[in-house]
């Protein structure tokens, strides 16, 4: 997921996908898939059927944001074509195929403009509010030197976007779904934190002390030092919430499972290629598929 995650100092030079999972990641299809699946899943838990236009709109909107962000991260290559030390494979891939991605963004914008009027006014209103905050956040990280706990903010924005279609249609369930929304937000932030840790990990680090991540926000640094513990806390919170909130137990249960999978990936990180590891982090968030396949 890792929306607007800063590029790392240890780059992966590979810009050509070698397998379907890598291609899913490099084409920026991972985050839109996660967002659309969870949007459907949240609605399903309360027996709400969302219009296809809403789900398609979610997919195209998230894809546009991620593709645009990666193109912006790679814009430094125009002034310093050989300066790739701070870029990951996804940034290099988007830069190499920028014309195709820019065309896709224009096409997605056109499709989105066609789909939005088909949503309920209450849903559009909530998305407009979220959009204002997201635009401000986007400007802060790409047009200024302000430092924000990006990984935490991403979790909040991502979870809010996936819950809006449901609470927009059923406003009476806002408070009831709030614990699940907070839990999913924590899982999304955990996803970003693990990715940050993996991409900024020094393979030659042999000290008994954990990395300090000097470039990260102070809040992010604290979280990065305790990732396994945070994962276990989210798992425990998810299982507890699933027991206490029986009507919507599936949401916290899926969140707990995703957190556990991220922790497993963290333990296996040295056995996977960087692209596979990065893509698998978002693959771990596809736990609602277990309910779709039932």
Q: Tens digit of pLDDT for each residue in 26-73?
A: 999 999 999 999 999 999 999 999 999 999 999 999 999 999 888 887
pLDDT-wise least confident of 29-33, 242-246, 259-263, 280-284:
242-246
Q: State how far the Cα of 124 lies from the Cα of 113, in Å rounded to an integer.
A: 12
- Cα angle at 42 between 39 and 48, to 5 degrees? 100
Quote the percentage of the chain above a pLDDT of 90.
55
The answer to whether 94 and 67 have CB atoms below 8 angstroms apart is: yes
pLDDT recorded at residue 86 = 61
Average the pLDDT over 242-249 and give the result: 85
Does 6 score more than 50 pLDDT? no
Phi/psi region, residue 4 (left: phi>0; alpha: psi -120 to 50; beta: rest), is: left
pLDDT recorded at residue 244 = 87
The answer to whether 41 and 294 have CB atoms below 8 angstroms apart is: no
Half-sphere exposure (Cβ direction) of 140: Cα atoms closer than 13 Å: 12
pLDDT recorded at residue 11 = 40
Furthest CA-CA distance within the chain? 56
Does 129 score more than 50 pLDDT? yes
Average the pLDDT over 241-251 and give the result: 88
Q: How far is CA 34 from the centre of its chain?
A: 8
Beta carbons within 10 angstroms of residue 249's beta carbon: 17
The answer to whether 96 and 15 have CB atoms below 8 angstroms apart is: yes
Q: What is the pLDDT of residues 152-180, one digit of tens each?
A: 888 999 999 999 999 999 999 999 999 99
pLDDT recorded at residue 206 = 46
Average pLDDT, the chain: 85
Beta carbons within 10 angstroms of residue 237's beta carbon: 19
User: Considering the entire predicted model, what is its pTM?
Assistant: 0.86
Q: How many residues does the chain have?
A: 294
């Amino acid at each position: 997921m890792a929306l607007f995650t800063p590029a790392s100092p240890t780059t992966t030079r590979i810009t050509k996908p070698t397998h379907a999972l890598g291609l899913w990641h490099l084409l920026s299809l991972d985050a839109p898939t996660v967002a659309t699946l969870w949007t459907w899943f949240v609605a399903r838990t309360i027996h709400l059927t969302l219009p296809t236009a809403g789900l398609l709109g979610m997919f195209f909107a998230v894809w546009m944001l991620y593709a645009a962000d990666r193109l912006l991260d790679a814009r430094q290559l125009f002034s310093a074509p050989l300066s790739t030390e701070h870029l990951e494979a996804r940034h290099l891939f988007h830069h190499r195929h920028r014309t195709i991605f820019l065309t896709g963004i224009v096409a997605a914008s056109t499709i989105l403009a066609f789909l939005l009027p088909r949503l309920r006014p209450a849903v559009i209103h909530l998305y407009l509010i979220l959009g204002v905050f997201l635009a401000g956040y986007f400007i802060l990280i790409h047009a200024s030197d302000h430092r924000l706990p990006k990984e935490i903010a991403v979790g909040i924005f991502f979870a809010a976007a996936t819950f809006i279609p449901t609470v927009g249609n059923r406003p009476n369930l806002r408070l009831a779904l709030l614990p699940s929304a907070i839990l999913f937000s924590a899982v999304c932030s955990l996803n970003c934190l693990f990715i940050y840790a993996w991409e900024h990990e020094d393979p030659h680090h042999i000290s008994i002390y954990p990395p300090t991540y000097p470039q990260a926000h102070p809040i992010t640094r604290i979280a990065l030092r305790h990732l396994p513990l945070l994962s276990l806390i989210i798992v425990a919170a998810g299982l507890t919430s699933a027991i206490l909130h029986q009507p919507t137990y599936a949401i916290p249960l899926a969140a707990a499972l995703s957190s556990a999978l991220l922790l497993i990936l963290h333990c296996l990180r040295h056995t996977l290629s960087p692209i596979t590891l990065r893509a698998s982090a978002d693959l771990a968030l596809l736990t609602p598929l277990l309910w779709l396949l039932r």
